[in-house]
Amino acid sequence: MQPQKIIVAFFIIIAILTTTVYAVQDFPFTNITARFPGIDAPYPGLSNGFSSLGNGIRTVLWNPAGLAKIEKSEVYFGVNSTSLSSQASKLYNVEDQTFTIGDMTGESFSNKVLFTNDPTATELATREFRAPIIYSPSTSGMDYKQAIKVNDWFTFGISSKGDTDIGLSVAGNFPAQYLLDSNLYGSTDFLGSGISVNSDGKLTYSQTSPIPYTYTSTGAAWSDFLSQTQRIPFTVNADMKNNVNVQSTLIFTGAAKVNDLSLGINFTPMSANLNVDNTAKAIVNAGTADFYLYTPNFNPNDANDVLNWTSDPNLYGTEAGYQKNYVRVPAGESVGEAKYTGFYNASAIRTDLGCMYDFGNVLTLGAVLENFGAAGFNLKGTGQVAYVDTRINTTESPTITTTGNQIVFTWNPFTDTFTPMDGTENIGMLPAININLPQKTKLGLTLRKPLLITIDYELQNNPLVFTYQSTTGAYVEAQFSNIGILKLGMETQVFALPMWLKGSLSFLMKPNVIGLDSSSEASFNQIFVLFDQYAPLSLDLSTAINLWGYKVGGAFGIDGSSLLSVLQLDTLNSNFGKTMYYNISLDKDYWHCVLQNNLDISSTATAYSNADKNGTINSSSTWTDYLQILRWTTTLTVGYKF
């Protein structure tokens, strides 16, 4: 390992947030912020996106043609709330490192980097650190939807939708020490100096010119010369701020109805911003003294002086017979710096086309071309800076020379100027980042009598591409194409009772996969073991009852398709962030109200971590104990249509 990798080790540690002595130390301090748009439930108990079931302003993202079916006008308000900020900590382990300097392989030096601020530490160890984490969700504000029937055949609607914003801030001071150990027992011609030491500690000095001679001490040399230790304490100051923001706050919809045919179109202006601001510095602790190494204090050009030194135990056996050779340490100065900053932004307009055809009030067919114009984010970078510079000398090795009448140890481990660290020449930021938003074709059928049955087939036209770390440690690109989803939904009245049951299932059809390693591919195939080429993706169940004109309902569900939305930055998808939910609905005449609660994964993970540490959750816990740690975000939607 080259000497420049001292600083590499420091910067690698900065990135370690989820890996597992003096004391457990805190690093880094992490603050995660998140803001997501509210989630509505137009049909509680049925999965989102049925292309033939859309009806009104709340379902324009299912099928914009459904807007043509309103009677006169609709207005909806949605108010969002979030979980409170939560705190947790993550324990992880860091292993100390060793390395060699220059051409010193086989010499009697041991070079270590110890990740601790313990000034007495000397041995390599696995150090435990704690990363305090604060998760702070925030509300995206109020959602607003309104539609008006302009005339008998044309309807116009506008929907507001909160933005998506995720931020990650990491900061802290990470302790590290460079520890130099020299052990001269058994060394031969140490650094070409002519000094050798046998296993008993006796020192031999040999010279071949101008007059050859060899003398050996009559006893063991001074122990603090034979084994020497010096340390340089560092602190890595890390400050990283990263933020991604996606805005698609307004959706404009127009729909026309001619007899039984409805046509619709959505226009959604979108923008995305990515701000990257990461810096780190490795600074030698202020007040650190120059370190030194001992060499024998005799005149190598005077054989009699060497003979006298090797014969006198008061010289070879005590500090009096040695001199200190100082090496300058840049106390309080930076010896390594890394910077990775830049800003990316892009804008686009997503266009959705939809149509519906009604066969009376019995059967409806629907079709949608989602993102018909192939909108995507071509994020252009500005203000990009990327480098890793160091003052650690990568070319000069320690030497021992005869200078005048002395044996002198010289070494300059730190240079006066910064230079790029070897192996980091190509860390520059990308000039642009392309994100292809999903393009989908949806076909659906809804049978309304004698009971409601709806079927939908959804096919993503462009592939899902992402990079992952394979089992070999390399980062490779995987591609999933022909991603199809089959959705089934049903609603029925329970005999003649004023009670209705609703439910839906969706299945992921096995896509074509390129780029997975054998282990990842085997894990992926396990998803489809139950139903061969199909994997359950979502489940929704609901019941509603009519009480004196008030229709009260409750629903719950789980939805794995939100993962697909997150991977593709598809924040417009009404399932974005909706992995698990429950809701309560109330309808009365023209009034509609839904209280939607969606699982907050990050807050739940924080609560679980804390419960696991304090013993609230253990091997004997019941399912009700786990329910108590779930955290939710809430959207209250109230609307009126006439």
For 187-255, the DSSP string reads: -SSGGGSSEEE-TT-EEEEEE-SSS-EEEEEEEEPPHHHHEEEEEEEEEEEEEEEEEEEEE--EEEEEE
Is 295 in contact with 323 (CB distance < 8 Å)?
yes
Q: What is the pLDDT of residues 415-451, one digit of tens each?
A: 889 988 877 766 777 888 888 899 999 999 999 988 9
Residue type, 361: N
Q: Report the pLDDT value the prediction gives residue 117, as an integer from 0 to 100.
A: 86
In sequence order, the 6+-apart residues with CB closer than 8 A to the CB of 579 are 558, 559, 560, 562, 563, 598, 599, 601
Is 487 in contact with 504 (CB distance < 8 Å)?
yes
Q: What is the pLDDT of residues 580-618, one digit of tens each?
A: 889 999 999 889 899 888 888 878 888 888 888 777 888
Q: What is the pLDDT of residues 113-139, one digit of tens each?
A: 899 888 889 899 998 888 888 888 887
Q: Report the pLDDT value the prediction gives residue 18, as an integer from 0 to 100.
A: 29
CA distance 546 to 544: 7
Confidence band (pLDDT; 50, 70, 90) for 492? very high
Question: Tokens representing 604?
Answer: 């739940």
Dihedral over alpha carbons 493, 494, 496, 500 (to 10 degrees): -40
In sequence order, the 6+-apart residues with CB closer than 8 A to the CB of 109 are 101, 180, 181, 182, 398
489 alpha carbon, distance to own chain's centre: 36
Write down the mean pLDDT value for the chain: 86
Confidence band (pLDDT; 50, 70, 90) for 2? very low
Percent of the chain with pLDDT over 90: 45
Q: Report the pLDDT value the prediction gives residue 12, as an integer from 0 to 100.
A: 37
CA dist list (Å): 535 to 346, 481, 485, 508, 526:
35, 16, 9, 5, 9
Confidence band (pLDDT; 50, 70, 90) for 9? very low
CA dist list (Å): 308 to 218, 324, 513, 569:
11, 20, 79, 80
Q: What is the pLDDT of residues 148-198, one digit of tens each?
A: 999 999 999 999 888 888 898 988 888 899 998 888 999 988 888 899 999
483 alpha carbon, distance to own chain's centre: 25
| 19-33, 105-119, 231-245, 303-317: the lowest-pLDDT one | 19-33
Burial of 632 (0-12, 13-18, 19+ CB in 10 A): middle
Go through the domains of the chain in sequence order and give each one's CATH number: 5-184+221-290+328-641 (2.40.160)
Determine which helix (DSSP H) or strand (DSSP E) holds 524, and give its type and residue range.
helix 518-526
Decide: pTM greater than 0.85: no
Burial of 526 (0-12, 13-18, 19+ CB in 10 A): exposed
pLDDT higher than 50, residue 8: no
| 26-35, 58-67, 70-79, 499-508: the lowest-pLDDT one | 26-35
145 alpha carbon, distance to own chain's centre: 34
Find, among 190, 186, 213, the residue nearest to 202 by Cα: 186
CA distance 595 to 292: 71
Find, among 83, 100, 126, the residue nearest to 629 by Cα: 83
315 vs 136, residue with greater confidence? 315
CA distance 149 to 155: 4
Question: Tokens representing 535?
Answer: 């994997």
> Strands, E, within 437-511: which ranges?
440-447, 452-460, 464-469, 475-481, 483-493, 499-509
Residues 527-543: b if buried by 16+ CB within 10 A, e if exposed: eeeeeeebbebbebbbb
CA distance 244 to 580: 24
Within 10 A of 404 (CB to CB), how many other CB atoms are there? 8
Find, among 338, 29, 30, 6, the residue nearest to 173 by Cα: 29
Percent of the chain with pLDDT over 70: 93
Confidence band (pLDDT; 50, 70, 90) for 522? confident
| 303-307, 504-508, 579-583: the lowest-pLDDT one | 579-583
Phi-psi region of 572 (alpha: psi -120 to 50; beta: other; left: phi over 0): alpha
